[in-house]
Amino acid sequence: MVDINLSGKTKIVTLIGNPVEHSMSPRMHTVAFKEIGVDAIYIATRVDNDKVGSAINGIRAFNFLGANVTIPHKIEAMKYVDEIDPLAQQIGAINTIVNDDGYLRATNTDGLGFMRSLKEANVTLKNKRAVMVGAGGAARAISFYLLTEVDELLMTDIKKEVAMALISNLKKTYGEKKISFFESTKENLKEALEPAHLLLNCTPVGMSPQADKTPVSADLLRSDLVVFDAVYNPLETLLIKNARAKGALTISGIKMFLYQGVEAFERWTKKKAPVEIMEKIIIEGLTKKK
């Protein structure tokens, strides 16, 4: 049992979303605050769609340290902050707010978390070709950061219009850099992967309770691929298991979740996050859910 002493001086960080009941962030961040001696707690608050503005104004009113924003409010929340960093503006979504004496600065740490997870695994992206399966929310943040380094990005989604809209936005930022769509068939995926260095799953395929599914069949994987899966529940998805069996370097979505939290934590506290403890809390939470 974690001993947390609360007082009138205790600061608060909140998670704004709907639903939020499943979130592991309250325990992860609250334990991390205590570990580094910051008198703060983290709470999750369910916010209805028509109350987002009021919730964000509450950050100022209650003098919170800041907030995280999750589904489905990452876009709507942009209307109510004072400043958004340029890349988050281009992504079109925020997930972190820092309260600077009533002035709310927003960013998107999802892409930063992704890049940090690759860096930890010693993955280099220069002159590389990436294939992304899925063009939804996770893909937006990842792709904007990914294209700061890779030479080429091929993308597919079962909803072509979703992928094409994202590609259009990416081209506004990165010009005629090689960004292209391919229809979601096994043959097309095989062709796209043959010269690729990095495979990214940004779909929910393989997420519990459908852990027996994979977005990419095992026969398309190989040992010289780097395979990233944004899904982090279960701890090891079927895609990750299959890729590891082929000898590929694999990166779990746990790392992205961890490091997006680390990036936010360090913005709120201006201190180095206790990364090992935060990762331990995530793994404990996922293990208990089994």
pLDDT band, very low/low/confident/very high, at 1 (cuts 50, 70, 90): very low
pLDDT band, very low/low/confident/very high, at 290 (cuts 50, 70, 90): low
Cβ neighbours of residue 57 closer than 8 Å, sequence gap 6 or more = 80
**pLDDT value at residue 261:** 98
**pLDDT value at residue 247:** 98
Q: State yes or no: pLDDT of 287 exceeds 90.
A: no
Q: Please write the tens of the pLDDT for every residue from 30-80.
A: 999 999 999 999 999 999 999 999 999 999 999 999 999 999 999 999 999
Q: Please write the tens of the pLDDT for every residue from 181-203.
A: 999 999 999 999 999 999 999 99
CA dihedral 51, 54, 60, 65 (to 10 degrees): -10
CA distance 224 to 268: 39
Place of tokens 């639903």: 19
Please pick, among 9, 11, 51, 74, the residue that the annotation labels catalytic.
74
Q: Fold for domain 11-107+260-288?
A: Rossmann fold (3.40.50)
Q: Which of 252, 278, 249, 251 is nearest to 263 (CA)?
A: 278
Q: Which of 216, 175, 198, 186 is nearest to 129 (CA)?
A: 198
Q: Please write the tens of the pLDDT for every residue from 105-149.
A: 999 999 999 999 999 999 999 999 999 999 988 899 999 999 999
Q: Which of 95, 99, 110, 98 is nearest to 16 (CA)?
A: 95
Q: State yes or no: pLDDT of 3 exceeds 80.
A: no
Q: State yes or no: pLDDT of 210 exceeds 90.
A: no
Any idea what DSSP says for residue 122? Answer: T
Containing 17, the helix (H) or strand (E) segment is: strand 11-17
Fold match between 11-107+260-288 and 112-251? yes
- Burial class of 209 by CB neighbour count within 10 A (0 to 12, 13 to 18, 19+): exposed
Strand 66-69 versus strand 129-133 pairing type: unpaired
Cβ neighbours of residue 212 closer than 8 Å, sequence gap 6 or more = 238
Q: Taking the chain, what is the end-to-end CA distance rounded to the nearest angstrom?
A: 21
Neighbours of 186 (CB within 10 A): 11
Domain positions in the chain are 11-107+260-288, 112-251
Higher-confidence position of 177 and 188: 188
Q: Reply yes or no on whether 159 is catalytic.
A: no
112-251 CATH pick, 3.30.930.10, 3.40.50.720, 3.40.47.10, 3.30.470.20: 3.40.50.720
Q: State yes or no: pLDDT of 275 exceeds 80.
A: yes
Please provide the average confidence, as pLDDT, over all residues in the chain: 94
Containing 52, the helix (H) or strand (E) segment is: helix 52-61
Strand 103-107 versus strand 152-156 pairing type: unpaired
